[in-house]
Amino acid sequence: MVESGEVDITSNLDRLLQIMGEVADAVSDGDEMASQETCGRFANIITAMQSQVDQSLIQQAYSALSEEAQNGINMLMGGS
């Protein structure tokens, strides 16, 4: 739904980042709730968000995430 534009990224930014980050963190810890392909799609969505949403909104949303979600976002974006 996000990829097809059916979801307003800006108004759902906090929740989208939380979900993608927590899922990616769980997958990196060995959970099989999502495939590597799905995590790759998450990374693509986050990259698209960075070009579509004001950077200050992204930073604000990121800072409000749980530690697990932040770890997952970092992993998706190739960080540590």
pLDDT single digits (tens) 22-66:
999 999 888 888 988 999 999 999 998 888 889 999 999 999 999
Both tokens of 19, joined, read 């979900």
Give the predicted TM-score (pTM) of the model: 0.84
Query: Pick the residue with more confidence: 23 or 9?
Result: 23
* pLDDT of res. 80: 47
**Domain residue spans of the chain:** 13-76
Q: State phi, psi for 64 to the nearest 5 degrees.
A: -90, -5
Q: How far apart are CA 71 and CA 80, in angstroms?
A: 8
